[in-house]
Structure 1
């Protein structure tokens, strides 16, 4: 649901300071990126998480060294313990403080993913500690599995299962058919994983379609929950309430926005958003203006208008309604969601109408509009810079007033 091959989080708004933990850092130039020359793939259909920066070639300058040498230099940057055991194959993703590469175990030829995190930066260290704390504790068929860890003073190498089946919605678009029954199969797997996490006192805090991957390309592939960089793991005896404002804007629960202490029910709100998209290809809450978006979320304001909603069963809508509930105490838990009649019956009483065409059209339309808005934002960013400080103060005041109003109603 991104732009082209991009799988990045939406950038935090310039005009609203909500202290979102996850954001995309701007590309800071070739000299600072030690991974710039790494091979993007070796014939496979694996895509890079972020497109390569444009290459400007000067015909009067000596051409770059052969590709083989560049790859060799890149591999040399890895800890020898890693390269002794794994062949480095391709860069498949990158974040603010991390790179994800596809590797192959030298002895077994089994493919894996290695997430390399730069821990010399405080933010990278915090994300690494959070993710490791969770992944070392979990073992579930629908959660990405940590295989082993290599640590140095400045980097951590996390060897993990490699999910090659693609993102949830990429598969839906490519598929010729998608019914409510298909949706319940997907949700059952995700809910099983979330229920397991919540039983262990772990809250994912960034559930969204981009973090739900198919294990392999086959029709019988399981879905796996990935990316635990924002996850919170409660230790025994700890208070179950969390306070950090984090997540991806369109999926953030109301209680996080008003800065109330919250529980793992924020994951269930995110699953409500995912369920809505799964059945329609559209977002329940969407606005280019963050203040208006947050106002929609705080009110729990969404509708079932437009295609394919007239063809979707009332039982499916009831399932969503019990997740997109503003009051977290009224929201379904993962166990309750698994016991909902729509899920238990695998949508048996629902229409078996193929929703694929409407869902695919809506997903592709949204992806296209997001690409256009991203390009537009980039082209106008410099012209807005002189007004940004004043605008930010105004937006911050508006958001504070909005939060205060809803906190009063919430505590009412």
Structure 2
């Protein structure tokens, strides 16, 4: 959803007795793409499947340059092997070291996404190697599929399946009806994918609703797990413990915050958070202050108060409780979660009440609140910048006046 939670690596909270988080600089953060540069004039409503940072291109330069010239220059950046096989259609996302474009296979007319990563930068090369290491090993119906790879000295072109059905919660809001049975069907697909990853020794480490996309807009569409930029792949026999502090704050497991070596159970904690949101449209742990947010997570304290929780079954709440367990050894595995009575029964014995109204209202309220917070933060930064520019202009004027008086004194 718009103004959703961005991928942020946690910062160490201040005034907390536990040394919670080692500060890690994010390798590639994505935010909303404000440029919406389209290769062809195919409409203005194409939503970027991959969030991207603000574009710093001068708007005047964009307006002065004819569209055909811009298109030709953009296509010229692609390796001839890529353009010989694919028609470049639209830029749908951008990151610090990458661009994502929608393309069409010239022979089959099948749409795909190509992720172009600049590997001349060390950070881009590391992200690329990590993602390729995972995607080359996986083949599952609920995981985004890597089709082929083109490599040059400075760039890598990853051709992947294109998910056109939108994000999970956008579909829920548009659907008009959502029950516990619908929730279990969604979670079953995600759990199938996660169980497969864990069997291969792969931990996603950034599971969240924004990374769960529908393959197509149809009602029978499958859900696909995407974005393996933070994933960790372990070969058989390797130490299964991980130590890197990474993820999105609201979904980070307690053991990561206390900098303990952790396992793939961190994905199961994130699925507990997703399940909670899926059934209510609200977050189990949420606070704009990172220190307070991390304290909530460490305590594992959340509640089932407010709508629509009175209408949610005890089986569903038990499922969430067994995932949002602070001790990772007590947390359900993906295999156990798939065997949980709530998932196995497809909520047949639980309430079939339509939870849509409460969920959608809560989701929209949260999105609106986050948008306002973002605008407020941007306004504050803009105000600070204006004040800074104003004070700089005052200082420059004072220096000019002092210099002028000094020259007058010398000449007088």
Superposition TM-score tier, normalisation by shorter sequence: 0.7 to 0.9
Name the Cα RMSD after superposition.
Answer: 12.6
- CA deviation profile, 1:308-328 (whole Å, cap 9, x unmatched): 000000000000000000000
Check 1:356–1:410 CA distance in 2 against 1; reply closer, same or farther (3 A cut): farther
Please give the per-residue CA displacement for 1:284-310, whole angstroms capped at 9, x wherever unaligned. 000000000000000001100110000
Contact in 2 for aligned 1:22/1:248 (Cα 8 Å): no
Q: CA offset at residue 404 of structure 1?
A: 60
State the partner residue of 2:172: 172
Shift of 1:381: 3.6
C-alpha contact (below 8 Å) 1:147/1:161 kept by paired residues: yes
Contact 1:173 1:360 in 2 (8 A): yes
1:150-187: CA deviation from partner (whole Å, max 9, x where unpaired) = 01111110000011000000000000100000000000
Task: From the superposition, tell whether residues 248 and 16 of structure 1 become closer, same or farther in structure 2 (CA, over 3 Å).
Answer: farther
Is 339-348 or 390-399 further displaced after alignment?
A: 390-399
Q: Determine helix, strand or coil for the equivalent of 2:360.
A: helix
The CA distance in 1 between the partners of 2:240 and 2:403, in whole Å, is 23
1:96 Cα deviation from its structure 2 partner: 1.9
Larger Rg: 2
**Structure 2 segments unaligned to the other structure (5+ residues):** none
The C-alpha deviation readout for 1:325-365, integer Å capped at 9, x for no partner, is: 00000000000000000000000111000000000000000
C-alpha deviation, 1:406, in angstroms: 63
Between 1:170-179 and 1:115-124, the stretch displaced more is: 115-124
Cα deviation code 1:125-164 (max 9, x no counterpart): 1111111000000000000000000011111100000110
Deviation at 1:65, TM superposition (A): 2.7
Relative to 1, partners in 2 of residues 1:143 and 1:404: Cα closer, same or farther, differing over 3 Å? farther
* Cα distance in 2 between the residues matched to 1:182 and 1:395: 63
Residues matched between the structures, number = 412
Q: Give yes or no for contact 1:119–1:156 (8 Å, CA) kept in 2.
A: yes
Greater alpha carbon shift after TM alignment, 395-404 vs 332-341:
395-404
Quickly say closer, same or farther: Cα 1:254–1:67, change in 2 above 3 A.
same
Q: Indicate the SS of the match to 2:153.
A: coil
- Give distance in 2, aligned partners of 1:266 and 1:317: 19
TM-score for both structures, normalised by structure 1? 0.84
2:407 is paired with a residue of what secondary structure? helix
Could you tell me how far 1:3 is from its partner in structure 2?
1.7
Corresponding residue for 2:118? 118
- Measure, in 2, the Cα distance between the counterparts of 1:411 and 1:345: 95
- SS class of match (2:130): helix
For residues 118 and 290 of structure 1, the distance between their equivalents in structure 2, rounded to whole angstroms, comes to 32
Residues 1:147 and 1:46: Cα distance change in structure 2 (over 3 Å): same
The alignment partner of 2:102 has SS state of strand
- How far has the Cα of 1:4 moved from its partner? 8.1
The Cα shift of 1:72 comes to 1.3
1:384, distance to aligned residue in structure 2 (A): 7.5
Q: CA deviation at 1:236?
A: 2.2
Deviation at 1:386, TM superposition (A): 14
Question: Cα offset for 1:124?
Answer: 1.1
Shift of 1:402: 52
Superposed displacement of residue 279, structure 1: 0.2
The residue aligned with 1:310 is: 310
Query: What is the distance in 1 between the residues matched to 2:81 and 2:124?
Result: 22
Deviation, structure 1 residue 50: 8.0
Instruction: Report the CA distance shift for 1:71/1:264 in structure 2 as closer, same or farther (over 3 A).
Output: same
In structure 2, the CA distance between the partners of 1:4 and 1:273, relative to structure 1 (3 Å rule), is closer
Alpha-carbon spacing, 1:400–1:193, altered in 2? closer, same or farther (3 Å): farther
Kindly state the Cα deviation for residue 67 of structure 1 after the two structures are TM-superposed.
Answer: 1.0
